[in-house]
Amino acid sequence: MDSARIRGCFGAIIVSLLLVSTTQAANYLSLINQFLAPQNAARVAIRMRPLVWDSRLARYAQWYANQRRKDCALRHSNGPYGENIFWGSGNGWTPSQAAEAWVSERKWYNYWSNSCAGGEECGHYTQVVWGRTKRVGCARVVCNGGRGIFMTCNYDPPGNYIGERPY
């Protein structure tokens, strides 16, 4: 093979790698935005600063999500961060849907009594809007054996301290 053809092959390989890298980067940025947009919209609605994506928290979230890939169990990591978890059957669940599910608990939160409506959950919402929380990192995995989708977000500093208002 002559040197011009070799350069052409290498050029095609480099272009292919760049396209794959660009596509992966775009997918990752889309994933980040899908997790962030609903949560930050909830924060802005109550005049809170938006959360900032943190790659360290995202690595922790991915590490933990990988642990849950085997069973898709709704168990918290009990790590050093605040944490929201989500599970959905099937494989079509998006990060936006998980974040929107957490934010939708706003309807059950009563700021004046600092409590959830009887029998309802609102702790995912209060973690999202916790005033001292600044950073978030999240992950999504498809669970083994068709068990569904597991997603988690980790928050730093953590929130949801008993007796304290989120904002």
Contact by Cβ (8 Å): 43, 51: yes
Q: What is the pTM of this model?
A: 0.84
CA 68, CA 150: separation in Å to the nearest integer?
7
Write the Ramachandran bin of 148: left for phi over 0, alpha for psi from -120 to 50, otherwise beta: left
Handedness of CA 25, 92, 151, 155 (dihedral sign): positive
pLDDT digit string, tens, across residues 91-105: 999 999 999 999 999
DSSP tally for the chain: helices H, then strands E: 4, 6
Band of pLDDT at residue 22, cut at 50, 70 and 90? low
User: What CATH class is the domain 22-154?
Assistant: alpha beta
Residue written as tokens 């350069």?
A: 7
Q: What amino acid occupies position 64?
A: Y
Q: What is the pLDDT, as a whole number, of residue 89?
A: 97
Residue-range domain boundaries for the chain: 22-154
